[in-house]
Structures are given as structure tokens and as C-alpha cells.
């Protein structure tokens, strides 16, 4: 039987997993109040469009949860899984930043890129260990 100890896990990937759990909870709890509630109060968009956007919001919730699980798995396994998730987190952060700049928003008005870049940095650190 293999016992999990501090020596057998990749701490950076474990911290990246915890960070992704934080991001997922932030998305669900804060995002629900800030984005979802107002989405269903307004009537300018037709209901199918609002439900489609609500579906996308849930997809992001699932994605963040799966990223947390995959970082946790990478913490205990050898291979490139952690690197792949880190690259995906970096791509998510980059996309968020590019969209903010493309639409003339000051990057701090759409700050999710910072959260994703922290996850990517933790993951890249884990891969380098």
C-alpha cells in the first residue's frame, strides 16, 4: 500500500488544485449574484438566449471543477497532465485579457485573467519541479 506523504505529492499542483477550487466557488457564489441574477431579471434578450447564457455559465462551473480535479490528479501522478492543465489555464487567462482589451475595457474591469494566470503559474512551477 502506498501512503501519500508530503514527499510523494507535487505541492505546486496541489496548491493549483486548491486555487481552482477557490476559483470555482468564487464563480458559483459571486458570479451567481453578479451575472446570473441580473441575466434573468432583464427582458431585452429572449428567453432562449438567456437560458443559453445560463448554460454557458454552468459549463464554466464544470470546467473550473474539472480543472481542480485534474490538478489534484497531477499532484499524485507523473506525466504531463499538469502541464496540459496549466497551458489551458494560461489560454483561458489570455483569452479573458484579450477580450477585455479588444472591447476597450480596462483589464481590471474583467479581472478573471489574473486568477487564471495564478493557476497557470502554479502549474508551470509544478511541472518544473
Question: What are the phi and psi torsion angles at 11 (to 5°)?
Answer: -60, -40
Query: How much is the pLDDT for 1?
Result: 46
Joined grid coordinates for residue 47? 428567453
Whether the pLDDT of residue 5 is over 70: the answer is no
pLDDT-derived band at 4 (thresholds 50, 70, 90) equals: low
pTM: 0.90
- Per-domain residue ranges for the chain? 11-128
Read off the pLDDT of each residue in 66-76 and give the average, rounded to a whole number.
97
Query: How much is the pLDDT for 6?
Result: 63
Candidate from 9-13, 56-60, 89-93, 108-112 with smallest mean pLDDT: 108-112
Nearest to 112 by CA among 93, 98, 89: 93
Amino acid at each position: 500500500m502506498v501512503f501519500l506523504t508530503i514527499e510523494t505529492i507535487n505541492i505546486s499542483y496541489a496548491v493549483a488544485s486548491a486555487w481552482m477550487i477557490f476559483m470555482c466557488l468564487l464563480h458559483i457564489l459571486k458570479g451567481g449574484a453578479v451575472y446570473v441574477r441580473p441575466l434573468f431579471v432583464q427582458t431585452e434578450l429572449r428567453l432562449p438566449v438567456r437560458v443559453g447564457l445560463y448554460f454557458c455559465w454552468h459549463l464554466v462551473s464544470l470546467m473550473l471543477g474539472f480543472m481542480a480535479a485534474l490538478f489534484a490528479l497531477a499532484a499524485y501522478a507523473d506525466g504531463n497532465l499538469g502541464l496540459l492543465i496549466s497551458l489551458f489555464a494560461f489560454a483561458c487567462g489570455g483569452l479573458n485579457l484579450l477580450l477585455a482589451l479588444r472591447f476597450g475595457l480596462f483589464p481590471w474591469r474583467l479581472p478573471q485573467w489574473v486568477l487564471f494566470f495564478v493557476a497557470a503559474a502554479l502549474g508551470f512551477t509544478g511541472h518544473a519541479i
